[in-house]
Chain A
């Protein structure tokens, strides 16, 4: 128990009980109370003394590789040279970081490290923010005695499509290699050779193709690792920066966005303890490229010659007219609004007010038919930290490594360091399968049975009863309805009282959008319902707020019919997406880095978004567009600035009372929101899964990190990383089809047929076929019938 925990107990006359975890030390002569087991380097930092370091990193196991952190420490047996990143504090230890002995050691280490360092700082991207440069200035010897020829290597060699390695600059600190193995689990780089020729390297012809490779560039203490998107783009002293939150997925990693001359150039992870620990995935880190690529810069209005640029006034008038005409034609509920998950809470709130209060339609939804019902948010909620601290994590959702990458890192860490056990239910092997304690691979529709079987297994039941259980629940297969997964989650919660749920919703601010109001009122339709109504000709005006049903809605055919059937379409978007091309009016929206506001991650944590560059062309934030349309329709929403909207959310949205601007400014890690009470729990679901004909394969469609979506396809560094569309079958099923792996096969469903390459993949369950969603040139969406419980396909030799 620490002193602070004692604060609540009533005062007594007794002397305070000494804290058993306290260790008294002195740092440079000043007394300091450290914690038992704390490393000297950390204790000194708490005491305000920074010990120079290269290899030590708070989020990784210390290895004592660089010796830069040598100090003089005396724990009663006389002063001794001590590696402060490896040695824990001891009672009455005297630590000297600036004594003549400590200084001599620091100078010696730096002289050694610099002996082979090329000192090409003037052309090095790290120059100006380089720990080696900085520490040489503060702790270095000033002169080198090394007069021999330095070691030479070929200047930067690519070790992956994104990362370059300059071996001359490397000081062999083991940060990148440790990160790859220990944190990311992609041990694709390692030290090779020995002595003077030791170097970081991959296995021959096996590149460092990790989703997390950008982190190694960020933590490399020298300029040895550089990332393609930023190489030679700027010098650190020219960069301006602002803290923000990545909205590429719903993990909401904290980041600092950096720009020069009004252009986004780099994102770096910020260490937020409850969320990302400083890490980012490569899609979130490098996806900023899309902000400056192929943007819609002016409003577009459809004329006889197609979409033509026009001014804002004219475009807003047209948008208002389209909505009014839609209402006039068949009443307010003939207007529907889809989207809002890509923007900020403010964007979503303003659009929700416009849709619900001004247009007065019940048909509003932020999800794209690829998630779980909004009622999932009403389940007892877990945070990411709760998940990592649980004794069992039940995975009933997407492959976290592909869809919520940094959550994958947190779960991985919990398994490796805390021995949390994973019980996984998945339609095919996932990135976490190899770490799972139990992994049940089920045939789509079979998850309820799989959960029941697990609950009946005494060993698993004991484990689930042993301590806190967190269920990570999400949509793992786009080719089946969400029903079976919801029922499986309900079955699990009924069997494990006290279990909490971390909603694995995917899109950047989808939880925020749903919570602040982008959800149907009673009687309103969800996105599938809206698209179906549009296809049936019942939607007079469809408003797409950063929504692209043609790319994101699993059932492409329905999306296509909906866009054809909707009489009028208004699109608000950053890029001219496939769906926006069908619109009558396209209003250009400001993108990430171009607007401020707040966002809500999947656990409900609200953090701030920073604005660093001017919005492309004349584009505006979505909330401003919503406010202008409302005004055109005769209502003043009362929003003059984004702060007005933030304040209105805190005032009006149930669950956001504590999320004030003051609270956000006070807390670096954001403020937790709660789901509004008006989100009703889901009634018990009971799905009847049809039996599979033994000639058919049950379709599994999941997302890969890199796809044909707006972010990846508009980021030149990432676009070519999308793996492409193939159908993966179990090797025995490939044989059964009678083809060689790599051959083209015909895949047909009740909807349509497509020809694609077949791969033999032992991670796929027999009788199922796995295809990645929304890949460049892909068309798997054509095969999916969103009205069916599951989709079965036939696979034939051409």
Chain B
């Protein structure tokens, strides 16, 4: 157990009452942190902007590494444990680097009734990937979501951010073939 861990925790919580210690350049030299900084400046480092900031960080880095979470915690003067708690609460945040393509199948009530489970099962088998994971070749990440608010289009598949309504297992596979260029 390092003493610095204790002090980081202590000052992270205590420093809510003091001035911003300033945001030095990230030691890794990764200039993508500058994009997070731009957002932080726009929201004046407000602590209630945590979720938005995490979204921006995820957009920039593709996923939330421990390093990124710590960076956000320091910037917003929040305890890292709390930032971690918030990030793990929400389904949309991910802590592993995603594959080249991401396929999200809605398994909300309407989509479920319309057979979303079959879509999930077929995609999983065809691409050898578990829900929430990335295929071994790193090409496809398969996720599920609970109701995307487009129940009229059920069942819904989102491929790389594009919503495709009224899907069927074969339709979804064809869609993936189109994007990924065929199953191995």
Q: B95 to nearest A CB, angstroms?
A: 9
Q: A186-B9, A721-B1 are in contact. Are A192 and B17 (CB under 8 A)?
A: no
Q: A189-B81, A191-B85, A203-B81 are in contact. Are A161 and B9 (CB under 8 A)?
A: no
**B1 partner residues in chain A, CB cutoff 8 A:** 160-161, 207, 209, 721
**Chain A 204-227 interface 0/1 with B at a Cβ cutoff of 8 Å (1 = within):** 111101110000000000000000
Which B residues from 1 to 52 make CB contacts under 8 A with A? 1-3, 5-6, 8-15, 17-18
**Chain A 169-208 interface 0/1 with B at a Cβ cutoff of 8 Å (1 = within):** 0000000000001000111111111100000011111110
Q: A233 to nearest B CB, angstroms?
A: 22
Most interface-central of A187, A191, A201, A205 (chain B CB within 10 A): A187
Tally of A interface residues using CB under 8 Å: 29
Q: B5 to nearest A CB, angstroms?
A: 5
Q: Flag if B2 contacts A181 (CB, 8 Å).
A: no
**Chain B 72-106 interface 0/1 with A at a Cβ cutoff of 8 Å (1 = within):** 00000001111111001110000000000000000
Most interface-central of A188, A202, A401, A431 (chain B CB within 10 A): A188
**Chain A 716-728 interface 0/1 with B at a Cβ cutoff of 8 Å (1 = within):** 0000010100000
**B83 partner residues in chain A, CB cutoff 8 A:** 203
Q: Flag if B18 contacts A434 (CB, 8 Å).
A: yes
Which A residues from 538 to 558 make CB contacts under 8 A with B? none
User: What residue in chain A is nearest B9 (Cβ atoms)?
Assistant: A188
Q: Flag if A209 contacts B85 (CB, 8 Å).
A: no
**B3 partner residues in chain A, CB cutoff 8 A:** 209, 723
Q: Flag if B14 contacts A185 (CB, 8 Å).
A: yes
**A161 partner residues in chain B, CB cutoff 8 A:** 1
Measured between alpha carbons, how far is A188 from B85 in the docked complex, in Å? Answer: 11
Interface of A is mostly: loop
Q: B33 to nearest A CB, angstroms?
A: 19
Q: Flag if A194 contacts B88 (CB, 8 Å).
A: yes
**B14 partner residues in chain A, CB cutoff 8 A:** 185, 434-435
Q: Flag if A188 contacts B88 (CB, 8 Å).
A: no
Measured between alpha carbons, how far is A723 from B7 in the docked complex, in Å? Answer: 12
User: What residue in chain B is nearest A161 (Cβ atoms)?
Assistant: B1
Measured between alpha carbons, how far is A187 from B2 in the docked complex, in Å? Answer: 16
Q: Flag if A187 contacts B6 (CB, 8 Å).
A: no
Other-chain contact of A193, B12, B66, B69, B89 (Cβ < 8 Å): B89
Q: Flag if A201 contacts B5 (CB, 8 Å).
A: no
**A185 partner residues in chain B, CB cutoff 8 A:** 10, 13-14
User: What residue in chain A is nearest B91 (Cβ atoms)?
Assistant: A194
Q: A209 to nearest B CB, angstroms?
A: 4
Measured between alpha carbons, how far is A185 from B8 in the docked complex, in Å? Answer: 11
**A207 partner residues in chain B, CB cutoff 8 A:** 1, 5
User: What residue in chain A is nearest B3 (Cβ atoms)?
Assistant: A723
Measured between alpha carbons, how far is A286 from B3 in the docked complex, in Å? Answer: 19
**Chain A 634-656 interface 0/1 with B at a Cβ cutoff of 8 Å (1 = within):** 00000000000000000000000
Other-chain contact of B80, A160, A206, A435, A723 (Cβ < 8 Å): A206
Measured between alpha carbons, how far is A431 from B1 in the docked complex, in Å? Answer: 18
Measured between alpha carbons, how far is A207 from B3 in the docked complex, in Å? Answer: 10
Q: Flag if B6 contacts A201 (CB, 8 Å).
A: no
**A189 partner residues in chain B, CB cutoff 8 A:** 81
**A435 partner residues in chain B, CB cutoff 8 A:** 14, 17
**A721 partner residues in chain B, CB cutoff 8 A:** 1
**B66 partner residues in chain A, CB cutoff 8 A:** 203-205
Q: Flag if B13 contacts A206 (CB, 8 Å).
A: no
Given contacts A181-B79, A187-B9, A203-B66, 5 further A-B contacts (CB under 8 A): A161-B1, A186-B10, A190-B82, A192-B89, A209-B3
Chain B interface residues toward A at CB < 8 A: 1-3, 5-6, 8-15, 17-18, 66, 69-70, 79-85, 88-90
For this complex, 6 residue pairs linking A to B, each with C-beta atoms less than 8 Å apart, are A193-B89, A194-B88, A194-B90, A203-B70, A203-B79, A209-B2
